[in-house]
Amino acid sequence: MAGIYLDHAATTAMRPEVEEAMRPYYSKRFYNPSSMYRPSQEVKKQIENVRAQIASAIGALPEEIYFTSGGTEADNWALTAFAKTGNRYSPHIITSTIEHHAIGHTCKRLEQSGCQVTYLPVDGRGRIHVEDLKRQIRKNTVLISIMYANNEIGTIQPIDEIGEIARKNGILFHTDAVQACGQIPIHVQKSKIDILSASAHKFRGPKGVGFIYVRKGLPLRNLLEGGGQEQGLRAGTENVPGIIGMGKALELAVANMEERQKKETILRDYTIQRIKREIPYTRVNGHRWYRVPNNINVSFRFVNSESLLVLLDMEGICASGGSACNSGSNAPSHVITAIRTPEEYQNGVLRLTLGEENTLQEMNRVVDVLKKTVQELRKESPEYEDFLKQEKATQ
C-alpha cells in the first residue's frame, strides 16, 4: 500500500533539485571555504551567493544572515544573545505560552540566570492580544519573542502589529519563523522584525541546517568560539552541502509559493469540512483564517491520539498528535491546554500537515479511514457508551 505522508510540519522530503545541487559539495567541491586557494574560494563564493539569496527571500541584507545547524540553535542563539543577565541588571523578556520548546525551555533557563519572563496567554484560537502585549511592557523589557506561526495548530500571530509595538518602545522583536519561512511571504523590514529563526528541512531542504537573521547594527554575541566563520560569531567549518541545499530549497519554495498556498488551502478547507460534517464530536483547533495553508488540527472526543495514530499508520497514513518534539508523551501538549481546549477533547488530538504533493484523492481516503477508525475506537470507549446512554435517556 502506498503511504500518505501528512506530517510536513515535522519534516519534509528534499526536492530532487536540492539533492542534485548538494551532491558536488560532498565530493568534487569538498574544499574548506576558509582556505586561500582558488577551489576553496569558489566554494566560499557559492556560500555567499546563498546568503544573498536567503536575504532577498525575506527582505534582508546578506550581512544580516548567519547560518546555523537549524531552528533550535537559531532560537537559542537569539534569546541568549539579547537577554543580558547579571547582578546589576535584570532584563525582561515577553514571549507566549504556545512557543516551541526551543524558546520555552530557553526562557526557563534564562529565568534561572536572573532574567524576568512574561508568558502571554493566547485566545481560544491561539493568537495573542496586542493589548495584552502593550500592558506587559516594562522599563527593563529588552526582547519580545513571539513565533510567526504555531507548529501544532498553525495559527499565525499578528506579526506586523507586534513589530510596530516593539519598534515604538525600543524593544527588540524576535520571531521563530520555522513553520512560516518558505510557506507564507515574509518581509523582515516591513514587519519590523529584528531577529528571525528558520530551518531548511521545513521547506524541503536538508536537515541539520538553518539560519538566523539579525538586523544590521544589533550587538549579536558570539555563539561559538574558534575560527572566524560567520563574521567571527559562529566558529566552525561551514556545512557547505547543507547551506547550498537550503538556498536551493528556499529559492524553489518562494518561486511556487502562491500556487502551493492555493492548492493546500483548498485541500485543507475541504478536509476540515468533511471531518466536521461526517465525524461527530469533533473540534477544530487553531484559527480559522489566520492559519498556515497546510495545517489541519482536530480533536476527537472519546478517542486517544496514540491509538488513533497507530491505526492510521497501519493504513499507511503518516500523521502526528502534535509537535514531533513531544512524541512519546501521553500528556496533552502545552499548546492544546493553552488554547483552553475542553478536557474531553485534549487526548484525541490529530495534526495533519499537507505538502504540495498531496492530492484530493489522498485526502478523501484519509477522511474515509478516519471515519472508520474513530468509530472503532469509540466502540471500545466506556465513556462513549455512558455518553450514548445518557443521550438516549434524555430524548
The SS3 assignment for 231 reads coil
Angle 38-58/240-255 helices, nearest 10 degrees?
Answer: 30
Distances (CA, A) of 364 to 272, 274, 275: 11, 9, 10
| Terminal-residue alpha carbon distance, the chain | 44
Q: How far apart are CA 188 and CA 176, in angstroms?
A: 12
With beta carbons less than 8 A apart as the criterion, state whether 291 and 154 touch. yes
Catalytic-residue membership of 107: no
Distance CA 366, CA 361 (A): 9
Question: Are the C-beta atoms of 198 and 71 separated by less than 8 Å?
Answer: yes
Burial degree of 161 (CB within 10 A; 0-12, 13-18, 19+): middle
List of E strands, 207-355 = 210-214, 282-284, 295-300, 317-318, 349-353
**Looking at the DSSP assignment, which residues form a beta bridge with residue 119?**
95
Is 250 buried (19+), middle (13-18) or exposed (0-12) by CB count in 10 A?
buried
Query: What is the rounded distance in angstroms from the CA atom of residue 150 to the CA atom of residue 339?
Result: 12
What DSSP state is assigned to residue 115?
A: -
d(CA 210, CA 202): 10
Three-point CA angle 16, 18, 23, nearest 5°: 95
Distance in angstroms (rounded) separating the CA atoms of residues 150 and 217: 29
Instruction: Give catalytic residues, as residue numbers.
Output: 325
